[in-house]
Structure 1
Amino acid sequence: SRSTFKLFLRNQTTSVNLRNKAGKSALWYSVEKKSSAVVRRLLKHPDIEIDLSHCERQTVLWLAVFHQNRELVALLLSKGANPNAADQDGISPWIEACIKNKNVIKDLFLDHWNSIGPKLKSETCTGNAEMIRDAANNDDPGALRVQLGGENVDAVDHQGRTALHLPAAHGNFSAVESLLCQRSIDPGALDQRNRTPLHAAAMGGHLAVVDLLLRRTNAFLNCQDIHGNTPLWWAASRHHDDVTKRLLSEDDVDVNVVGGGGRYDRPSTSLHHAVRRLDTVVLRWLLAVPSLDPNICASFQSPLCLAIREGHTAVLRLLLTHKDIQINAQHPGGDAPLCLTTENGNVDVVKLLVAQGSRLKINQLNRIDEETAVSVAIRNASLHILHILLQHLDINLNQHNRWGETALLIGVREGNIEGVKRLLQDPRPIYSLGIPAEIAKSRKKNVIEKLIRDRIEHNSRRGYYRDQTASI
């Protein structure tokens, strides 16, 4: 009752800041009940602690912001309540106002900062002071530049996020716009994962916020977080195509960053993402960037090898149009593209590669057995692929693998009658036919032996090249 409340205030032995077992004081309950008259009476008490920590270290100003009570927020700010007092989760009343994204509440804070003196403006919440000092001493490019002597709109939460990070992550355009109007705001502030507000907006796919931040400054366009990821990397990996296009429109954008160093991510570039997603639209955008390196190897594979491994012919066709693509590149721990696709048995991809003509090293060896694609096709009994490979003008049918075997010898050993027959039908010279003939005879592969003997006889009759069976 009102009379009881008056007695409580007049009682000199009772603390006005007394909290119950729930950690709440009379001032807290008054704000919670939105009783502005009682709040005013309590604030007149000489011993009142306006920034008293209640349950979860929250202050009454945070509670007023949470309930979006404009009258009480204005009253508490006018009585000196700390807008940067963080709770146990690092959320201050100011950050809570940005989360709620109510302009009438945020304007109260901004007006408050504009009206108070320099000394008060430099005050920071004790929970964030140490973190702010550490960030201020960080000399890394793009580091969080919070100065204790400036306006404290860059106070951070327990994850190092500023008030600008939060609305950027949620796509609150008006909140970001209001914050960017503050001269002291740092658009390149880094949280504990080294992510800027631009990272947050790109990760969420918020095009309008990304555009707004880039128009303010693109100095942090290529800033990498602790896993090496840029805003472009995040936008491409999360399928935010409109954001990807906007970031690519910046002249200084770095499209060759290898990110994905996190626990659950594989190292990759933005080009890897487009290839993996079969996104030919984004792929065209990336290929049009003059500074693009299409041959960057990440996770032991280039974008070309990734497209080949997955059998993405539409994507592969686009990649092959790039003037700098290396179609013969053999990366550490992997085979050359032609050997890889032959091993996988992808006929359409083999066709695309063979169609490159002299640009393709048709006789390139794989990593383990040092075999050509022709030898791999024979070993795997891939007759259709073998037929395609033999259409290349530079094919060498006498290339040996690390065991000294030619493609014909492998066909004899595997008993691949159709493969041996197709090799022998090719008009190009095959040397030392006597050896595979004798091996076929010793293994009682009569059909294969007859095919080879017929080719030897045909060569002798036509005089193409010297029969070497006499040396056996």
Structure 2
Amino acid sequence: MAKSNEEHLGLTPLMLAAKLGYVEAVDLLLSSNLVRVSYRNRLGKSAFSLAVAHESVQVVERLISEQDIDINDQSLDGDLPLTAALRSRQSYIFQLILSDARTDASLRNYYGQSPLHEAVEMCDEGAIQMLVRNQRVDVNCFNHQQETPLLLHFKGYGRFLPIDKHLRIMEALLLSPFINLNHRDKYGRTAFWHAMDNPNPRLAELLLQQRNMDSNCIDKFGQTPLARAAQNGFLTLVKLLLRDPRLDISPRCADSVPPLWSACRAGHYSMVNFLLQNSADINQRSPTGTTPLWIAIAMEHVNIVHLLLSYEETISVNDQGPQSFTALIFASANGRLKIATFLLEHPNINVNAVDDQGRTAFWWAASGGHFDVVQVLSKERGIKKRLKDLEGKTAYAIAKDHNHVNVRLYLRSFWTSS
């Protein structure tokens, strides 16, 4: 037994016996006090890790009974015997190692993944249940991407699972009373936030049933779960969310993107209509200072603009956005004739509103050479065609400067006829 710890082709006698599953040889070698049970070779392999890797159940049982065994023996790549058993779906060996009091079931590999992370990635319901019921397992351990196992399920392979399998994994994770539903990833997003990317409402419904869940969490880009669902156009999901008394349809945080604004930007007419019918604030600004009407115009969603304008008594049609543009100024400056026509039909429209440079919708339409918009605006009662901006330029002067011949000739007729 003098050479009991010498390597041959990288393996000691004990390691070779463990790899081959020779339990009698393992017994004989362990009877010597000279054998180093937890010896590791240059590749970081031990007799125990080799026995697990080669599914040598009896050898694993024999080695695990040794007090000196390193049951948490990590390989050079950070792999654990517990995770090796998990990945090869050796349920009995996995359970045997996990049940041992010496096992640290929250150790992480070089990617920050714990055994529970790996069980979630493998969608192994049985392993997840065993892990979350084990008091030594940190169910909220996060990896290098700041993802807990619950978050990883929503962001990883779980996204592509059939809905019933998806739900069973969630239910397995939720068996732990210590699960943190509101843990955020590096973008400030929770599991509930990521649930908004799945149109099936059953995922969100399961999370909404949990106490202490923040249904109004805001990510680093200002989006709440409701705003995300609205942006995605998932109407069934939004209807479910609005039944939750904790939910705020128009969050007042300065950094939050209003759900109505998100729906308007994405062009989801039915979503916009539903939110308006449920008392969403039609004038609430986004962090960029734009209203739902303003962003609908910018994205050229004409039908949504028309819908918003139908709320004549509540919509602030003359609100100013970036560069102090009103909706009419912006539409006119960009030559949006149909939208400008809709705006002019609103009883409270201010056709002579000016931006921070003293320029009106008429001035901007002329500057852009939008002849049809200039014509429509010029017929509005009370419009000031000769109004000068802060630089002293009229609409006619700016059209001349930009060589918009049709607009210049058309505007010139107003000067010669007066």
**Aligned partners of 2:352 and 2:374: how far apart in 1?**
13
Show the counterpart of 1:144. Answer: none
Tell me the CA shift for residue 425 of structure 1.
Answer: 4.2
Show the counterpart of 2:264. Answer: 308
**Aligned partners of 1:446 and 1:179: how far apart in 2?**
80
Tell me the CA shift for residue 354 of structure 1.
Answer: 0.8
Show the counterpart of 2:72. Answer: 84
**Aligned partners of 2:317 and 2:171: how far apart in 1?**
47
Write the mapping of 1:379-394 to structure 2, written as runs, cut at 5 A: 379-394=333-348
| 1:228 matches 2:194 | no
TM-score (norm 2): 0.80
In structure 2, which of residues 224, 239, 263 is the aligned counterpart of residue 284 of structure 1?
A: 239
- 2:282·2:292 contact (CA, 8 Å) conserved in 1? yes
Instruction: Write out per-residue CA displacement over residues 180-205 of structure 1, whole angstroms, 9 at most, x where no aligned residue.
Output: 44344443344455543323333343
Tell me the CA shift for residue 68 of structure 1.
Answer: 1.8
**Aligned partners of 2:5 and 2:222: how far apart in 1?**
55
Instruction: Write out per-residue CA displacement over residues 133-157 of structure 1, whole angstroms, 9 at most, x where no aligned residue.
Output: xxxxxxxxxxxxxxxxxx7444444
Residues 1:339 and 1:217: Cα distance change in structure 2 (over 3 Å):
same
In structure 1, which of residues 353, 359, 363 is the aligned counterpart of residue 308 of structure 2?
A: 353
Tell me the CA shift for residue 447 of structure 1.
Answer: 3.8
- 2:254·2:287 contact (CA, 8 Å) conserved in 1? no
Write the mapping of 1:96-135 to structure 2, written as runs, cut at 5 A: 96-109=84-97, 113=100, 121=101, 123=102
Residues 1:411 and 1:79: Cα distance change in structure 2 (over 3 Å):
closer
Q: Unpaired segments of 5 or more residues in structure 2? A: 159-165, 389-393
Tell me the CA shift for residue 303 of structure 1.
Answer: 4.0
In structure 2, which of residues 152, 164, 169 is the aligned counterpart of residue 200 of structure 1?
A: 152
Tell me the CA shift for residue 286 of structure 1.
Answer: 3.1
Instruction: Write out per-residue CA displacement over residues 283-341 of structure 1, whole angstroms, 9 at most, x where no aligned residue.
Output: 33334333334456899854443433333333333333442x33323344453332333
**Aligned partners of 1:103 and 1:434: how far apart in 2?**
84
Residues 1:403 and 1:283: Cα distance change in structure 2 (over 3 Å):
same
Aligned-residue sequence identity (percent) comes to 24
Residues 1:411 and 1:34: Cα distance change in structure 2 (over 3 Å):
closer
Write the mapping of 1:153-172 to structure 2, written as runs, cut at 5 A: 153-172=105-124
**Aligned partners of 1:201 and 1:431: how far apart in 2?**
59
- 1:329·1:337 contact (CA, 8 Å) conserved in 2? yes
| 1:376 matches 2:330 | yes
**Aligned partners of 2:387 and 2:227: how far apart in 1?**
47
Tell me the CA shift for residue 373 of structure 1.
Answer: 1.7
**Aligned partners of 1:182 and 1:432: how far apart in 2?**
77
Instruction: Write out per-residue CA displacement over residues 327-364 of structure 1, whole angstroms, 9 at most, x where no aligned residue.
Output: 32334445333233323333122112212222211011
SS in 2 for 1:358: coil
Tell me the CA shift for residue 53 of structure 1.
Answer: 0.9
Q: Which has the larger radius of gyration?
A: 1
**Aligned partners of 1:344 and 1:203: how far apart in 2?**
29
TM-score (norm 1): 0.72
Residues 1:182 and 1:408: Cα distance change in structure 2 (over 3 Å):
closer
Residues 1:320 and 1:67: Cα distance change in structure 2 (over 3 Å):
farther
The runs of 4+ residues in structure 1 deviating greater than 6 Å are 297-300, 451-454
In structure 2, which of residues 208, 211, 219 is the aligned counterpart of residue 248 of structure 1?
A: 208
SS in 2 for 1:216: coil
**Aligned partners of 1:316 and 1:218: how far apart in 2?**
38
Aligned length: 396
SS in 2 for 1:256: coil
Residues 1:72 and 1:254: Cα distance change in structure 2 (over 3 Å):
same
Residues 1:37 and 1:245: Cα distance change in structure 2 (over 3 Å):
same
**Aligned partners of 2:153 and 2:300: how far apart in 1?**
42
SS in 2 for 1:309: helix
Instruction: Write out per-residue CA displacement over residues 5-29 of structure 1, whole angstroms, 9 at most, x where no aligned residue.
Output: xxxx4xx4xx211124x53212222
| 1:93 matches 2:81 | yes
Residues 1:53 and 1:339: Cα distance change in structure 2 (over 3 Å):
same
**Aligned partners of 2:368 and 2:244: how far apart in 1?**
48
**Aligned partners of 1:380 and 1:181: how far apart in 2?**
61
Match of 1:163, as an amino acid?
P
Show the counterpart of 1:34. Answer: 21
Show the counterpart of 1:319. Answer: 275
- 2:139·2:178 contact (CA, 8 Å) conserved in 1? no
- 1:155·1:163 contact (CA, 8 Å) conserved in 2? yes
| 1:73 matches 2:60 | yes
| 1:57 matches 2:44 | yes
- 2:200·2:237 contact (CA, 8 Å) conserved in 1? no
Match of 1:62, as an amino acid?
S
